[in-house]
C-alpha cells in the first residue's frame, strides 16, 4: 500500500474506511448519491461492463510478480491491517450470512461479508470502530 506515482512515490499511504459493493447495493445504500455524467465526449457503451470477458478468464490483465501459489491468480481476498499487522481472508471461504470472528495481533475483530452485495465490514470488537479494508 505505497504510492506508485506522483510526488509521494514510495511513501506508505494512510488507510481509510471506504465501501466496496455492487452498483445495485450502492444505489440502495446511497439513494441521494450522484455519479459522473455519461456525457464525457467519448462514444462508449457505459451501460456495458467492459471487463466481463476478463472477469470470466483465468488469467490477469498484467503480469503479477508476486502471488500466493495456493490461490488462483484472481482469487478475491479481503485485506486489513490492525496496528500495522496485516491479515488477508479468502472471501470464497466465508460461510453465507455469518459473522466471522478472528484475532489479529491480539485484537479481536469481526468480519461481516455479504456475497450477493459483495460488501464487507470489519469491526474492532472492543471499540466498535470500523477497520479499513481492501478488496484485492
92 burial level (CB within 10 Å; 0-12, 13-18, 19+): exposed
- pLDDT tens for the chain, 136 residues long, are 788 889 999 998 888 888 888 889 999 999 999 888 888 888 888 778 888 898 888 888 888 877 778 888 888 899 999 988 999 999 989 888 889 999 999 999 999 998 888 899 999 999 999 999 998 8
**Which cell numbers in the block locate residue 132?**
479499513
Amino acid at each position: 500500500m505505497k504510492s506508485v506515482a506522483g510526488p509521494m512515490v514510495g511513501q506508505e499511504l494512510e488507510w481509510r474506511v471506504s465501501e466496496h459493493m455492487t452498483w445495485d447495493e450502492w444505489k440502495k445504500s446511497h439513494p441521494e448519491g450522484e455519479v459522473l455524467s455519461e456525457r464525457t465526449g467519448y462514444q462508449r457503451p457505459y451501460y456495458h461492463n467492459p471487463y466481463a470477458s476478463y472477469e470470466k478468464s483465468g488469467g490477469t490483465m498484467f503480469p503479477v510478480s508476486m502471488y500466493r501459489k495456493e490461490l488462483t491468480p484472481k482469487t478475491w481476498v479481503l485485506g486489513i491491517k490492525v496496528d500495522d499487522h496485516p491479515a488477508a481472508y479468502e472471501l470464497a471461504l466465508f460461510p453465507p450470512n455469518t459473522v466471522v470472528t478472528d484475532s489479529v495481533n491480539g485484537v479481536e475483530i469481526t468480519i461481516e461479508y455479504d456475497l450477493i452485495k459483495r460488501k464487507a465490514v470489519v469491526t474492532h470488537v472492543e471499540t466498535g470502530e470500523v477497520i479499513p479494508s481492501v478488496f484485492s
